[in-house]
Structure 1
């Protein structure tokens, strides 16, 4: 009797198991590998902004090569149009350039010595991830147009005559089956456009009719990111061949660094940023002839660095971290290039500006005194935290973390997961229990607070170590030594949508702004939005985030639907909660607007009960009479 063959999972591995995807299918199947996280546009690093950036990068490369001084960006609803006035794509290659992988001019280093994108994938990804994509190229009074749907060519127009100026125009509509319920937020795009202008002094970008232009490069960037009365000395601005720096110090804790390569904002840093951090410390020690602690020198620093590199190597398609060790293929190392520039130019500047040198010295010595005052309690607190971390009941950790070096195998896929890493900060066992059961254990962690945290406005960093919860939160985030060790890309405050919940949000925000302002400035902190109401009948359930959404749901559903008011996160079942923290998660970014003074904001909202705040509350108080049942009846009828 023949023995029956038993099939075990994974055993059916044969020729049929090997799949070959064309370029469109692969991009659409694994979009995160090409554009990072998807999102709905509520976060500045969501994929829809990466699509805009990929098209803009090509325009910037044309400007860098000396072709075209103006770029136009127009967004109407969900339709994006980008027009440059460069050389235009060669007419015979218009279709190939946006639809064939490994096709493009950027493989020819003579044409694009120091461009942003070198792998020729960017516009192909935009094409594949768009419902509609149209490219038009004009060269010498001739125009060629091609139209696509989800990467598939639907119409290739014949060449025609035109009086338009040379250049390329791309119009696309992101695919709403991939980017669900997405919306463009102008403030995120403005940041992107300002960075382009700061890095390309003289470039003019017109966004929906508004012009953006910078004359002083990174000096303008730091002036925009700081307030004159909060910095310790005038901004130092240094420029050289293929490198530009701007530096100052503020009164805040931590480091605030903005790094760029070939016009690309490397939000996760890389070899150039690390070279700056090391080179700055060495130059300062040599100048003052004193072996200051590294942390004392860099605490409070606000700086921007931009370098131009031949054929840069990034650690992913989204180009957020530089991996290049050298400035040129056979040129100096990044560490040597940046270090030599600092030791020469910054040293010269400090010798010529003794008042700045004195102010910088005083800032370093202030940090030194504060560090020594903290030394004893910091050691005890860290020992307690180390023991607690072994069995930290406050933290339900996840598998992937932002600060871990991904293995070479599946690197892009893992980096996409790292971009999704999120820690939810909750209050109370019921809320944290629901989120913990509903979360994605690979990318979502939960940190549970016990009641309301301390109002730490006006307190020194000593309280971070004296307060057990603050110390454990600091360790969970891994931010004691700075932003480079941050374990999660998104920090989401998840509290009840009532007065107590809002107060807890303010207290957590005060903690971050007081001691770790970089988290907010680098747009890592959010507030979770969860539905206030569930409206349902026998056929459909609608979750509503506001009174207006509830009214619309009551009108839509027939009969007398059941209305549930969620008074707290703990009242939402884990099964339901999974819908609100998944791909369709709604969260509001906590931002510091340009011109805001952090200490003044904290004084106003979290300081003593001033007459100003009292007057504001009285003038803006809205009294609501609860006529909910009458209103529902009226809407239904």
Structure 2
């Protein structure tokens, strides 16, 4: 048949294992690492379903060095013998037929009323996608063994009389690289999955064994006695604004009038927290990355309940806009855990559920329960609503500030025309360009005359610069001095604040300089300006400090003149050394003048000539320690600052103007 022939013999279908092996993405959502992960979870979910039915309290998961996986539970053991109704062995139905299993009949009192694996694909699809799979089952006084290779059973069912102390199933398999492009499931992935399963299956212990060398294992355990309540407590790090609240209920309903009725069990644990926030949704033990019905219900109910409280208690100001869920989410830690006897997933990977009834039932339940909670917990209600309003107003202020900053810093910038008194250099080579940040117009004049205009630019600071560590962002970005400095730097701003993330515009590639040099007088006022400029960079562009772009130009403390020759001392030791060399000669000694009073030649020699100047690179060895020190000296820690001055202030008395 030629390649172009298309007739009745051209149509074919995939059969047996090929339905999975040739199209894994159809079953697992991906033929990459995500699909491999999902194939593992299908086996794990069967063990979880058994435990949740009351059979077994621990599940063992082993990650081997050869990338094979073993999952062992202590449930009832998978039935594998002959099935009269189906006229087949159960092991064939479970491991060799898609859409077969024990979870389709969800009538009251049946097996797996609330089940994670409802589609009958898991064990079979994972077996079909494996290089090999070994199954060991203990039940009914026997040990049953099965072996599969690349989707085919080898040797049939082996049945051995066995006196077992417990029942259960153990499955060891290796995902096949002929099916998946990547099978290297990381240790972190296993840890994340098992931790989440422990969260939503209270009282069920998960033991992870990770092979580190042949026959050697490290062990991790995950267990939450009180499920999502314990997990919310963990997420809150002891910083709760309100106590953790738990709610649960069970409902019956339909997604549509002509569809079957089903049950849903729901539970929620939440608290409010000023430092941490998190939203996590689980359904039938599956983590819903995209949420779906539970997420829509939470958003609707929390906005409704809190908005009602604010209106009824006169918390809004006149003409103030309504809260949004983002204002609540900023301070909310909530975990939901739901189960249903019928579930509609967006797809087989179960990242979101779409049940209309589940969404409606959750919304109604949450609205009602939040209303009761606010009545019964007046103090918590007040705290929550006050914080939500703070978040809302911060968001609105941040939005106005963002528009303002974008307007001021955005666009094609001709810096020389738009920044007052900025003096640019000629070179366009960023690797050579340097900018000197100097104090005042007089220093500008001296530096301008003393510089090399080919690669050295100057921007003066006019007036007192704001302490950026204590000021709010809206105030910071109203400062012309700061805006001008940011324009000259060109790299934008780094904002990590919860309410001001949209202000972030930092891009190191847009930095216009190889060196940012802070050049101030060697006196108390100069040191203060230097510190405030450093604080501004630390708050708004800390990467410049981390990457070593920021420098301090040392100014000489003393000028010593002898026979028309000048010597410059940058500290007391150097002064003593120069005087010693001039012993027996007549010289004059004076404190260095301010930069604005220096001659151009002196400015070039002491401060601007790359061959003779002294630059200190600002490079924090420990960013956390640096952050603490900035906060101590320039932040809101007033008592800490007083204590620091009392303990160490005497060391700096020589630098003050106090006699």
TM-score band, normalised by the shorter chain?
A: 0.5 to 0.7
Question: Secondary structure at the residue paired with 2:71?
Answer: strand
Deviation of 1:294 after TM superposition, in Å, equals 3.6
Question: Secondary structure at the residue paired with 1:273?
Answer: helix
Matches within 5 A, 1:316-355: 316-325=347-356, 333-355=357-379
Residue 159 to residue 382, structure 1, CA distance change in 2 (3 Å): farther
* Counterpart in the other structure of 2:282: 260
Residue by residue over 1:3-22, the C-alpha shift from the partner in whole angstroms, topping out at 9 and shown as x without a partner, is xxxx9x9x754323322001
Deviation of 1:306 after TM superposition, in Å, equals 1.3
Structure possessing the higher relative contact order (Cα contacts under 8 Å, 6 or more residues apart): 1
* Counterpart in the other structure of 1:299: 330
* Counterpart in the other structure of 2:97: 100
| 2:213 counterpart of 1:175 | no
Residue 246 to residue 384, structure 1, CA distance change in 2 (3 Å): farther
Residue by residue over 1:547-587, the C-alpha shift from the partner in whole angstroms, topping out at 9 and shown as x without a partner, is xxxxxxxxxxxxxxxxxxxxxxxxxxxxxxxxxxxxxxxxx
Residue 12 to residue 381, structure 1, CA distance change in 2 (3 Å): farther
Structure with max Cα Rg: 2
* Counterpart in the other structure of 1:226: 236
Q: Distance in 1 between matches of 2:68 and 2:500?
A: 51
Deviation of 1:152 after TM superposition, in Å, equals 1.0
**367, 373, 385: which one aligns with 2:397:** 373
**282, 291, 299: which one aligns with 1:277:** 299
1:457·1:607 contact (CA, 8 Å) conserved in 2? Answer: no
Question: Secondary structure at the residue paired with 1:96?
Answer: helix
Residue 466 to residue 150, structure 1, CA distance change in 2 (3 Å): closer
* Counterpart in the other structure of 2:12: 19
Question: Secondary structure at the residue paired with 1:337?
Answer: helix
Residue 453 to residue 98, structure 1, CA distance change in 2 (3 Å): farther
Deviation of 1:117 after TM superposition, in Å, equals 1.3
Matches within 5 A, 1:593-604: 604=624
Deviation of 1:144 after TM superposition, in Å, equals 2.0
Residue 384 to residue 167, structure 1, CA distance change in 2 (3 Å): farther
Q: Distance in 2 between matches of 1:220 and 1:454?
A: 42
Question: Secondary structure at the residue paired with 1:143?
Answer: strand
Q: Distance in 2 between matches of 1:29 and 1:293?
A: 46
Q: Distance in 2 between matches of 1:158 and 1:462?
A: 64
Task: Give the alignment's Cα RMSD to 1 decimal.
Answer: 3.8
1:233·1:249 contact (CA, 8 Å) conserved in 2? Answer: yes
Deviation of 1:371 after TM superposition, in Å, equals 2.4
Structure 2's unaligned 5+ residue stretches are 82-89, 210-218, 251-264, 313-321, 413-429, 431-488, 509-541, 548-621, 633-659
Residue by residue over 1:246-288, the C-alpha shift from the partner in whole angstroms, topping out at 9 and shown as x without a partner, is 22233469x6311111111111111122112111211222334
**74, 83, 92: which one aligns with 2:62:** 74
Residue 466 to residue 139, structure 1, CA distance change in 2 (3 Å): closer
Residue by residue over 1:290-336, the C-alpha shift from the partner in whole angstroms, topping out at 9 and shown as x without a partner, is 553443233332211111112201111111111222xxxxxxx2233
* Counterpart in the other structure of 1:248: 271
* Counterpart in the other structure of 2:519: none
Deviation of 1:289 after TM superposition, in Å, equals 3.4
Question: Secondary structure at the residue paired with 1:98?
Answer: helix
Q: Distance in 1 between matches of 2:94 and 2:235?
A: 37
Comparing 313-322 with 207-216, greater Cα deviation is found at: 207-216
Residue by residue over 1:118-151, the C-alpha shift from the partner in whole angstroms, topping out at 9 and shown as x without a partner, is 1111112211121111122222212222111121
**66, 73, 79: which one aligns with 1:84:** 73
**346, 365, 387: which one aligns with 1:315:** 346
Matches within 5 A, 1:204-603: 204-208=205-209, 209-229=219-239, 231-241=240-250, 242-251=265-274, 256-289=278-311, 291-325=322-356, 333-378=357-402, 454=492, 456=494, 461-462=499-500, 464-465=502-503, 467=505
Q: Distance in 1 between matches of 2:221 and 2:117?
A: 25
1:381·1:466 contact (CA, 8 Å) conserved in 2? Answer: no
Question: Secondary structure at the residue paired with 2:335?
Answer: strand
Matches within 5 A, 1:44-63: 46-63=34-51
Q: Distance in 1 between matches of 2:167 and 2:154?
A: 25
Residue by residue over 1:179-220, the C-alpha shift from the partner in whole angstroms, topping out at 9 and shown as x without a partner, is 456433222212211211211111122222443221111112
Q: Distance in 1 between matches of 2:6 and 2:407?
A: 50
Deviation of 1:36 after TM superposition, in Å, equals 3.0
Q: Distance in 2 between matches of 1:23 and 1:154?
A: 15
Residue 191 to residue 142, structure 1, CA distance change in 2 (3 Å): same
Q: Distance in 1 between matches of 2:545 and 2:339?
A: 41
Q: Distance in 1 between matches of 2:153 and 2:271?
A: 51
Deviation of 1:100 after TM superposition, in Å, equals 0.8
Question: Secondary structure at the residue paired with 1:279?
Answer: helix
Deviation of 1:468 after TM superposition, in Å, equals 8.5
Matches within 5 A, 1:155-166: 155-164=155-164, 165-166=166-167
Comparing 76-85 with 457-466, greater Cα deviation is found at: 457-466
2:493·2:505 contact (CA, 8 Å) conserved in 1? Answer: no
Number of matched residues?
A: 405
TM-score, scaled to structure 1: 0.57
Deviation of 1:73 after TM superposition, in Å, equals 1.5
Residue 20 to residue 453, structure 1, CA distance change in 2 (3 Å): farther
* Counterpart in the other structure of 1:406: none
1:94·1:137 contact (CA, 8 Å) conserved in 2? Answer: no
Deviation of 1:25 after TM superposition, in Å, equals 0.9
Structure 1's unaligned 5+ residue stretches are 1-6, 41-45, 326-332, 389-427, 429-450, 471-501, 508-601, 613-637
Q: Distance in 2 between matches of 1:258 and 1:505?
A: 36
Deviation of 1:55 after TM superposition, in Å, equals 0.5
Q: Distance in 2 between matches of 1:224 and 1:161?
A: 47
1:237·1:245 contact (CA, 8 Å) conserved in 2? Answer: yes
* Counterpart in the other structure of 1:112: 112
* Counterpart in the other structure of 1:532: none
